[in-house]
Amino acid sequence: MVRLDGGAALAARQGLPRRREWVDASGAGMAEASKLRRVTVVSESGTPPKTTFGVEMGPGDPRIRIQIGERSIPVDIGPEQAAELGLALLAASAVCSPGHPRPAPGEPIHSAHMPVLGWQTGTLSAARLPVLVTTLLGGARLILRFTPEQAASCGEALNAVAASVLDPPAR
């Protein structure tokens, strides 16, 4: 076991006590072990600081903002990365829902088929555009806006699929 003190200065600058963590570097050379810096900053009460996540527009692309206590960390991402991350987070919400087996620690969570627990239809009041609101396993609500033509086509397609599943063709 090798003790690494990479975050003592950060904790001191933030005026917080630092909890020491030990990183198992057995079998790794010191050069590799020095890359394994892990720091846990705690508040005066001994609890981790509040962590929040948000998305905002950066200078040219979306930006994720991670707030850990008083520290704010901006991470610029491209539109494709935003789509991938959004789908992965929805999948994480579903696969980590109560009553479902959780993935193993370290296992990547990718986009998945999202079980719909409920749905509602309506229109946007000002634009009179059709909307479909789905409630997904894990609690996420997606509000999908359609043109009237898209809504009619989607409804017909879903109805046809449901009919084929309920009354499969004879073989």
What tens digit of pLDDT does each residue of 24-58 get? 333 333 333 333 344 444 555 566 678 999 999 99
Give residue 6's pLDDT. 37
HSE, side-chain direction, 13 A CA sphere, residue 35: 4
Q: Which residues of the chain have pLDDT under 50?
A: 1-41
Expressed as residue numbers, the domain containing 32 is 1-49
Residue 10 lies in a domain: yes
| Position 166 in a domain | yes
The tally of domains found in the chain comes to 3
Same domain membership, residue 121 and residue 82: no
Same domain? For 27 and 59 the reply is no
Rounded to two decimals, the pTM is: 0.63
Structural domain contains residue 103:
no
CB 122 within 8 A of CB 133: yes
- In this structure, the answer to whether residues 62 and 38 fall within a common structural domain is no
Measured between alpha carbons, how far is 67 from 38 in angstroms, rounded to an integer? 18
Q: Is 128 left (phi over 0), alpha (psi -120 to 50) or beta?
A: left
- Report the pLDDT value the prediction gives residue 125, as an integer from 0 to 100: 78
* Assigned domain for 122 exists: yes
**Claim to verify: residue 122 and residue 167 sit in the same structural domain:** yes
